[in-house]
A = this chain, B = another copy of it.
Amino acid sequence: MLADDPLGAGRERPGDPGYVAAFEEVERDPRQVLAVAVLDGEVVGTLQLTCTPGLSRVGMVRGTIEAVRVRGDLRGRRIGEALVGWALEEARRRGCGVVQLTTDASRVDAHRFYERLGFSASHVGMKLAL
């Protein structure tokens, strides 16, 4: 699902052992939640939630959502909505005071999707490749 995406296609290599090593790293870290949506026994969506402690706002924990994907042939069935809604509940349960994410400026549908879920496009997301 990460590769089946206009932006992901050029930067993923399905089958690469790097994914297994990364999965183990994520699993070992209690601040990471890698969730999948399952429909009729099949994985149809995924996302990663990270809960980060910090000093700002009197020591508020921040939830960050990354890598939200829904299987391409199942779009429009509110799977993403259920998945992100679940992540918001999980973030609340883990004591996060805010949940944040960045989406590529070209993903206009994604902005509308997150605004429907209550997110506000209040920030500029800046990236620097190392």
Contacts and interface: CB of A to CB of B under 8 A. Distances in A.
Interface of A: 2, 8, 11-13, 16, 18-19, 21-23, 25-26, 29, 31-32, 34, 48, 50, 52-60, 62-64, 66-67, 88, 91-92, 96-105, 111, 114-115, 117-130
Given A23-B55, A48-B54, A126 B130 contact: no
A4 to B, nearest CB: 13
A98 B130 contact: yes
B55 A62 contact: no
A44 to B, nearest CB: 16
A118 B115 CA distance: 29
Nearest to A111: B124
